[in-house]
Amino acid sequence: MTPLEEGSRALVVDDSRATRRILGRMLAEIGFAVTEAENGKEALATLTADEQPFDLALVDWNMPEVDGIELVKAIRADAAFDGLKVLMVTTEADIDHMMIALDAGADEYAMKPFTAAVIREKLALLGIGEPV
């Protein structure tokens, strides 16, 4: 397990401000510099505008403007984001949704309601943070 590199950046994309705060705090505790976006459209704008690349995106499914699946597809269609790991975090708990997300290019999938332990476990599967 590689330790988190200094300056690692995470983008938390969710239309719930409370969820953004909770996930953001978890990621900050791990050592990420955290940026928030409230939908896929804002996330894409942030990802493309910033010169310093993001390492990780936590992406909600149901959001206005551009939803999580559209966002993941857009990310995977752009080679500039090849190094970006994507964890879907969503209330869509059935296997069909999970398969759609993974097919779209999400690296891992976590269901709401989540716990800090679950998020850490999923990140560990992505090679991020301490093993759990």
Footprint of Mg ion (CB under 5 A):
15, 60, 62-63
Instruction: For the CB of residue 119, give the shortest distance to Mg ion in the complex, in Å.
Output: 16
Pairing of strands 9-13, 33-37: parallel
Our CB check for Mg ion shows the closer of 4 and 101 to be 101
Our CB check for Mg ion shows the closer of 55 and 60 to be 60
Range list of β-strands (E), 1-132:
9-13, 33-37, 56-59, 85-90, 108-111
Report the C-alpha gap between 63 and 71 in whole angstroms: 10
Instruction: For the CB of residue 85, give the shortest distance to Mg ion in the complex, in Å.
Output: 20
Instruction: For the CB of residue 99, give the shortest distance to Mg ion in the complex, in Å.
Output: 20
